[in-house]
Each structure stands twice: as C-alpha cells, then as structure tokens.
Chain A
Amino acid sequence: DVKVTQSSRYLVKRTGEKVFLECVQDMDHENMFWYRQDPGLGLRLIYFSYDVKMKEKGDIPEGYSVSREKKERFSLILESASTNQTSMYLCASSSYTGGRNEQFFGPGTRLTVL
C-alpha cells in the first residue's frame, strides 16, 4: 500500500511566521504535489515536482515555495504566513509507470493562520 504522510494534522501559526509543511512518501514515486482545499473550490495545485530538485508552479503558487532534496520528501514553505493561507493542505504522489495517472494523497494538514 502506498503511504503518504504529512508532518502535522493540525497547525496554528501567526501572521508573518515562516511555516514548513513536510510530506513523505514510501513508494519511490517520481512525482509529488501540493494542493490546498477550500470549500467550494475543490483542490487547487500549488506546486509539483517530477524529480529531485525539480519543481514547477501549479495554478496558485503565489506566497509559497517548495523544496525537494530527496525523492521521498517534498516540503511546502510559506515564507510569511497570511490569514488567506488558512486552509487544508494536501500532499500527493504518483508514478510514471503502468500508464496509470492516479495520485495518492496524505491525510492533510489543517493550517490556521491567526
């Protein structure tokens, strides 16, 4: 079974703080993704990575950065948290092999910025 874990289930931070969200997958997947989920908006892609040290912007990258130093780990960084970044953050991973396109998701981190 694919396992995607996220460092925290719930996080409360203050405006202006630097926030790190960590994601680890154990299936040797090439691709990793960060989404945020907001009511009525579905899942929106923030950043993704298709290889170590490679990253690409998704649909809403503003205010975020990412780091992928090892294949299994993908970090999302909020350089200076703002209240509009209060959201559910979801990490996912996928593989090129087998022609399948499903992504496997972690349990999510509920971030509140005060």
Chain B
Amino acid sequence: DQQVKQNSPSLSVQEGRISILNCDYTNSMFDYFLWYKKYPAEGPTFLISISSIKDKNEDGRFTVFLNKSAKHLSLHIVPSQPGDSAVYFCAASAPSSGSARQLTFGSGTQLTVLP
C-alpha cells in the first residue's frame, strides 16, 4: 500500500510558466515532508521541506504548500526554467523512537520544461 502517491508520472510546462507538482499521502503520522530533484545518473538532491506545523514554505522560485486536512502537498516552481527538467520525488517522514527517521518516497514526476 503506497503511503505517498504522486499520481502524475509526467508534466510538461513552458519556460517561464508555473510548474505545479502534486503529492498525496495516507499516513496521518507523517509530520515532515520533503521534495527531492533527481537528474539522470545522479543521486536525488534535497530541494525544499515543510513541517506539519506550517502550511507553506518558500525558497526562491520554489514553494511547498501543505494541506493537512486533505493530506495533500504541492510544489510550485515559478518561473520554470529548462534546467528544472528532472524527476521530482515527494517524501514524508514520521517520528520514530530510538531509531533513524525514515523517509517514504512517492513514485516521482518527470518534469519537462520546454524552451
């Protein structure tokens, strides 16, 4: 059972426009959410995160929105640039006692920004 879902395998956006990537989760214990970006043949790189006590976090062109009641988060990229073309993974984390916090990842969305 997938606890973190990214229902859009791919998204194409024109350069300069907004990209909106979506993610849904089912586990109400998740209290921290992250977005990673991955280029081919490279490891994922951390992009932005949000704690469940917030509903928005912004970092430059990237903004993450969290809707806890809907168990939904989204990543907005404005304006989109060709270099943003990559696979974006949503991840979520729940508290754990005495052990490392694990991340549960979605299946990823391939974003293509067209020049």
For residue A114, give the distance in angstroms from its CB to the closest CB of chain B.
20
Within 2-34 of A, Cβ neighbours of B (below 8 Å) are at 4, 9, 30-31, 33
What is the size category of the interface that chain B forms with chain A?
A: 20 to 34
A48 lies within 8 A of B100 (CB): yes
Provide the bound-state CA to CA distance between A42 and B42, in Å: 14
A101 lies within 8 A of B41 (CB): no
A107 lies within 8 A of B107 (CB): no
A94 lies within 8 A of B100 (CB): yes
Query: Do A102 and B34 contact each other (CB < 8 Å), given the known contacts A45-B102, A50-B99?
Result: yes
Q: Which residues of A contact B (CB under 8 A)?
A: 4, 9, 30-31, 33, 35, 40-45, 48-50, 56, 58, 90, 92, 94, 100-108, 110
